[in-house]
Amino acid sequence: MKDCLRALASLSLMLACLYSPAVYAEELSFDQTVNALALAKKMKEKERVIAQLAMTSSEKKLQVLTSLQKGTLYYRKSDKRVVFSKLVESQYRINDVLTGEEYGLTEKRKLKKINISNKLRNQLRLIVAKIYLSDKNDERRSRAVKDLINSPDIKTLGIIESALDIEQNSTIKQNLQLASALIRLNGENEAGRLLAIHDLEGSLHKKVISALIALQEKDDEGRYVEPSEKVREAAKKTVASMQGAQEFYRFVENLFFGISLGSVLLLAAVGLAITFGVMGVINMAHGEMIMLGAYTTYVIQQIMPNYIEISLLVAIPSAFIVSGLMGVLIERTVIRHLYGRPLETLLATFGISLVLQQLVRTIFSPLNKSVISPEWLSGSMEVNGLLSLTYNRMYIILFSFLVLLGLVFLLKKTFVGLQMRAVTQNRAMANSMGIRASWVDALTFGLGSGVAGIAGVALSQLTNVGPNLGQAYIIDSFMVVVFGGVGNLFGTFFAAMSLGIANKFIEPVAGAVLGKIIVLIFIVLFIQWRPRGLFAIKGRFVED
Amino acid sequence: MTTNKTSSRSLLAGDVGGKRLLIILLLGSVIFPAFNLMLPESSFFHISTYTLTLVGKYLCLALLALSVDLIWGYCGILSLGHGAFFGLGGYAMGMYLMRQIGDRGVYGNAELPDFMVFLDWHELPWFWLGFDNFGFAMIMVVLVPGVLAFVFGWLAFRSRVTGVYFSIITQALTYALLLAFFRNDMGFGGNNGLTDFKEILGFNLQSDVTRSVLFSCSALALIFCYLLCRWIVDSKLGRVLIGIRDAESRTRFTGYKVEYFKLFVFVLSAVIAGVAGALYVPQVGIINPGEFGPLNSIEIVVWVAIGGRGTLYGAVIGALLVNYAKTYFTGAMPEVWLFMLGGLFVVSTIYLPKGVVGLFQNLQARKENSKIGTITGVGT
């Protein structure tokens, strides 16, 4: 009955559309226009209905319009209900536009797509842009402006100019000016184009440089795209002035990537710097301690799926405890028997690493696990058009510095740290002064392993969490420790940063793999020059 | 021939285990191929070609273990990158075998190996020149690992990089090679490596006779290298090496140029590893960058540790035992294998510092002790 009425209403509407375009101008509701969409046959009619739709005040109109743009708006042949559709395998999952009701999977032949012509599509784009630009939400408005910058279109100029008049937010205003200038760059009038170039000066958006360079290009027949000599000159000058800034920001970006890679290396290596550096134990299972930390993060997220935002904060101490306890266990059962036999320790701990890997494989399956990144870690800070710094990298840098500082504080300022250093320097003497060396050993090893676990939490945000996670970092970690000099946290910090930065600066020139090989060869050669690393401890107790 | 025999006899005078091992190897090098070729398949004693190839593979790995024991057991140099030399020897052989394919590849290009045609290369890179010639390839099998070991060792030993530092940079070396050989641009077949070999010196690689000959060659190479190593460690040079192992600084202060001794034995060991690789490749039929994996190199050290370090024959026994166990367990219980291998590492380093060989020696010594004990007990 209801459907019947609705069909009747639509029919009358259609008639209205056909015969008296002026009458319905402001009276149609959202529901009516949507129904009319299914009935409109000619493009002209659709154009009118769409214009009507855009004028209604419904929240849903944007969804309908964008769906129309994407070609996912259909109507059901049987009752002309307009539906959103989503292709699932060979069928469509549809839900009603007006009521939101789910109709479930439907075969394609029962549906009809609401087609639009290219002309209509352009118009839609304008309408959508206009709606977005008048949105109250800053973020949505700013996204719309960015979209306009990325595909400048002369038709949007009017909308942009009118939006400029009312825009309050300064960043969005700037972007709007940029969009307007980019469009005017291809305008008819030479003076207008010159003015546009003038307006673009100082902007560092990627699009600006490519647009200005495009002005100086020739077409296939060897003629300049830009007819005016004056404009070409101005464009050239502006580009030249921008190139310096561009290079500078590229350098800053590389540096940032380098420091963030260095921070990852630092996190991975700092635990090793303690076990290898302070205790002289070559812990080949170090990578697996990192892996355990990463899996701890995964498990924590499984336990508290509703609190992903704080799961990492819970995971950090948990990973420290899990890996740390495992470290103490390994020290008490295996390494204790092997002090003074570094090569044997290496083999035994390597065996442990194989066992741990297989253990994880047996418990969690050999497949990678996905660890979810909380909201506050995603996204990036846009400094300007050329430089954007992602939040997760910034947090990693901050985090690794905090971990390093915490360790330095622990070793230098606390009583436990004092004991650790005493045992490192002279075991027999420390023992005779009443320090339980074996207890300190277990504690130190646990600390190193625990820090590796923390590194695992951080790494779970950057790479895949799988049984081989640790192996990927073990060689790098050793390189960092050996390069920096054993037993020296500052050396480890310096080595991690310089290797990270060097890697990122070589990468664009030589490629990622070759860059890594170059760094490895460099370290091998470097060891010849300084067999004890960059900041070697001097003194008698260094001798084996 | 007779003089050779007498010299080897005197060489093995104090090496009972070695003597037994060599006799078994010598017999094996004849009996295995003979049982494979002469007995019908229905016979109980028939040895299948699969088994023959498998054991031949083990023998190559045993040779590799021998080379590691020579430097680790007798000179205290723990190389965690010996897979690099093995792999390079294998690649040299693989390149020769690649050239032997000629126009029988998938693309039928007589000039270029398949993977180069696939990468759309038009010319053979310079470093492939000469590998058509078997003699040249064999020289490269020895020369490439030897030169790399020489340069690397010269740099490292001269600046007195020792102990774990040396181990770690050898690992970096093999890791760098792994990354390099994974690249297609290197011209060694990228991550697929070299495979699809057809024949060696004109003999079909799939035929039983060729396989048998390769098996015998591996056994003979192992015997020869064993005698060579035994000769070296028993000579005056060997005494110096042991001196370096036990007290490097003291040996240096006595006036020996420690780095030259180390360099010599390191290069020799690398060459033996290269030969092992070259014998390995035609039997397994493939060489790929995986051989350079740091894990592989560490595994070699474990064979030696489990067999018994510093005995030479212990290394051979260790390699055979562990590899047999690996074949068995990865087939029967793949889940358990890594637990086993890991456990073996731990147990052998803590409880078997002298390996399986040491265990038997201990048992024997205890037996003799108890015998003496009973005799003296009767006396009192």
The secondary structure of A419-462 as a DSSP string is HHHHHHH-HHHHHHTT--HHHHHHHHHHHHHHHHHHHHHHHTTT
Residues in chain A closer than 8 A to B152 (CB atoms)? 524
Residues in chain A closer than 8 A to B155 (CB atoms)? 525, 528
SS3 A486: coil
Q: pTM of the full predicted structure?
A: 0.76
- Residue B181's CB is within 10 A of a number of other CB atoms, namely 23
B351 CA to chain A: closest CA distance, Å?
10
Q: Between A338, A355, A527, which is nearest B338 by CB? A: A355
Q: Does B247 touch chain A (CB under 8 A)?
A: no
A492 CA to chain B: closest CA distance, Å?
16
Q: Between A338, A355, A479, which is nearest B342 by CB? A: A355
Q: Between A334, A355, A521, which is nearest B350 by CB? A: A334
Between positions 111 and 150 of B, the ones with CB within 8 A of A are none
Q: Does B366 touch chain A (CB under 8 A)?
A: no
Name the closest residue on chain B to residue A362, using Cα atoms.
Answer: B335
Residues in chain B closer than 8 A to A544 (CB atoms)? 162-163
* Residue with token string 């290079």: A247
Q: Between A354, A359, A475, which is nearest B171 by CB? A: A475
The secondary structure of A85-114 as a DSSP string is EEEETTEEEEEETTT--EEEEE-GGGEEE-
In the predicted model, residues of chain A with pLDDT beneath 70 are 1-28, 204, 277-278, 385, 536-544
Q: How many CA atoms lie within 13 A of A247 on its CB side?
A: 5
The secondary structure of A289-352 as a DSSP string is HHHHHHHHHHHHHHH-GGGHHHHHHHHHHHHHHHHHHHHHHHHHHTGGGGTT-HHHHHHHHHHH
Q: Between B152, B338, B350, which is nearest A358 by CB? A: B338
Name the closest residue on chain A to residue B353, using Cα atoms.
Answer: A344
A428 CA to chain B: closest CA distance, Å?
22
Total number of residues shown for chain B: 380
Name the closest residue on chain A to residue B176, using Cα atoms.
Answer: A517
Q: Between B168, B345, B353, which is nearest A350 by CB? A: B345
A520 CA to chain B: closest CA distance, Å?
6
Q: Does A8 touch chain B (CB under 8 A)?
A: no
Between positions 268 and 307 of B, the ones with CB within 8 A of A are 294-295, 298, 301-302, 305
CA distance B57 to B279: 8
- What's the pLDDT at B10? 67
Distances (CA, A) of A80 to A4, A57, A181, A302: 11, 23, 45, 45
Q: Once rounded to an integer, what is the mean pLDDT over residues B202-223?
A: 90
CB–CB of A352 and B78 under 8 A? no
Residues in chain B closer than 8 A to A334 (CB atoms)? 346, 350
Q: How confident is the model at residue B3 (pLDDT cuts 50, 70, 90)?
A: very low
Distances (CA, A) of B137 to A456, B100, B198: 47, 12, 16
- What's the pLDDT at B373? 57
Chain centroid to Cα B165, Å, comes to 23
CA distance A422 to A279: 11
- What's the pLDDT at A4? 56
CB–CB of B165 and A531 under 8 A? yes
- What's the pLDDT at A16? 47
Q: Does A215 touch chain B (CB under 8 A)?
A: no
Residues in chain B closer than 8 A to A331 (CB atoms)? none
CA distance A445 to A274: 8
Q: How many A-B residue pairs are in contact by the CB < 8 A criterion?
A: 122
CA distance A129 to B54: 70
Residues in chain B closer than 8 A to A475 (CB atoms)? 171-172, 175, 294
Break chain B into its structural domains and give their ranges.
Answer: 53-206+225-349
B56 pLDDT higher than 60:
yes
- What's the pLDDT at A27? 55
CB–CB of B159 and A514 under 8 A? no
CB–CB of A338 and B180 under 8 A? no
A495 CA to chain B: closest CA distance, Å?
16
Nearest in space to A207 (alpha carbons), one of A183, A187, A223, A230: A183
CB–CB of B165 and A544 under 8 A? no
- What's the pLDDT at A77? 81
Nearest in space to A269 (alpha carbons), one of A425, A2, A529, A492: A492
A512 CA to chain B: closest CA distance, Å?
10
Say which amino acid occupies B220: L
Q: Between A343, A348, A528, which is nearest B161 by CB? A: A528
Pairwise pLDDT comparison (A188 vs B210), residue with the higher score? B210
Chain centroid to Cα A10, Å, comes to 47
A468-472, long-range: CB < 8 A, 24+ apart? A468/A357, A469/A287, A469/A290, A469/A291, A469/A294, A470/A285, A470/A286, A470/A287, A470/A288, A470/A289, A470/A290, A470/A291, A470/A353, A470/A357, A471/A287, A471/A353, A471/A357, A471/B295, A472/A287
CA-CA-CA-CA torsion for A17, A23, A25, A30, nearest 10 degrees?
A: -60
CA distance A404 to A518: 27
Q: Does B335 touch chain A (CB under 8 A)?
A: yes
CB–CB of A347 and B301 under 8 A? yes
* Residue with token string 């259609």: A14
- What's the pLDDT at A21? 45
Residues in chain A closer than 8 A to B305 (CB atoms)? 344, 347
- What's the pLDDT at B306? 86
CB–CB of A513 and B183 under 8 A? yes
Give the phi and the psi of residue B40 in degrees, each rounded to 5: -70, 155
CA distance A297 to A315: 5
- What's the pLDDT at A6? 57
B33 pLDDT higher than 80:
yes
Q: Between B156, B172, B302, which is nearest A523 by CB? A: B172
| Beta strands, E only, chain B | 194-195, 199-200, 203-204, 286-287
Nearest in space to A453 (alpha carbons), one of A321, A347, A354: A321
- What's the pLDDT at A25? 47
Q: Does A520 touch chain B (CB under 8 A)?
A: yes
- What's the pLDDT at B6? 45
- Residue A382's CB is within 10 A of a number of other CB atoms, namely 12
CB–CB of A347 and B161 under 8 A? no
- What's the pLDDT at A23? 43
B69, B79, B168: best to mutate for the A interface, most A CBs within 10 A: B168
Nearest in space to A456 (alpha carbons), one of A257, A335, A283, A322: A322
Q: Does A337 touch chain B (CB under 8 A)?
A: yes
Q: Does A335 touch chain B (CB under 8 A)?
A: no
CA distance A224 to A237: 17
ipTM of the complex, rounded to two decimals: 0.80
Q: What is the 3-state secondary structure (H, E, C) of B41-72?
A: CCCCCCCCHHHHHHHHHHHHHHHHHHHHHHHH
